[in-house]
Amino acid sequence: QGRPEEQGRLLEHVDSLDATIRRIRVSIFQLERRATRQDGLQHQLLAVLEEVRPTLGLDARIDFSGPVDLALPGVLVDDAVAVVREALSNIARHAGARRATVGVDLTDDVLALEVSDDGVGITDSGRSSGLTNMRRRAAAHDGTFELSVPPGGGTCLRWTARVGGSSGRTPAWR
């Protein structure tokens, strides 16, 4: 039966525990929803691939590694999608490739994109606005942008960005 003040403290503790359990449930729900949301990086990149597949006219795939849909701010997702879209468009227009691969990896606080093809390699077409935008997008996130020619030919684009890098803002070129 106990004293009224002990019963009151016990009820306060029970109410506090109930509130904590509700907060935990909300957090779990938000994490699950974020993992399956359609505006996440994985879903958007798969949509880009389906969008450009008819133009590509080649075998293309995307491989994901790490929790790419849980930890990325919206501006970084937007920039990563734009980089992959531009890279695949360049392959479709210029590479003469039979295959293209996109690798997406989130390790620690670094998002890395690697887009490669087995086409003719990098050529100097005189225009580089798409490549310039990719460089700027990487720099806005304290990242890197590199183009290389693999030993077997083709092109390999590597783009990195730090999650929570210097850009919490939308870059001026948008």
- For residues 120-143, give the mean pLDDT: 82
Per residue in 48-106, pLDDT (tens digit) is 988 888 888 787 899 999 888 776 888 999 999 999 999 998 888 888 888 899 999 99
The residue with tokens 């003469």 is 96
Beta strands in the chain (DSSP E): 59-65, 99-107, 110-117, 145-148, 155-162
Are 77 and 37 within 8 A, CB to CB? no
Give CA–CA dist 79/41, Å, rounded.
Answer: 10
pLDDT of residue 170: 41
pTM exceeding the 0.75 threshold for the entire prediction: no
Per residue in 35-59, pLDDT (tens digit) is 555 678 999 999 998 888 888 878 7
**2 phi, psi to nearest 5 deg:** 70, 170
pLDDT exceeds 90 at position 29: no
* Residue 49: partners with Cβ closer than 8 Å, 6 or more residues away: 60, 61, 62, 88, 102
- Rg of the chain's alpha carbons, rounded to an integer? 23
pLDDT of residue 2: 67
pLDDT exceeds 50 at position 10: yes
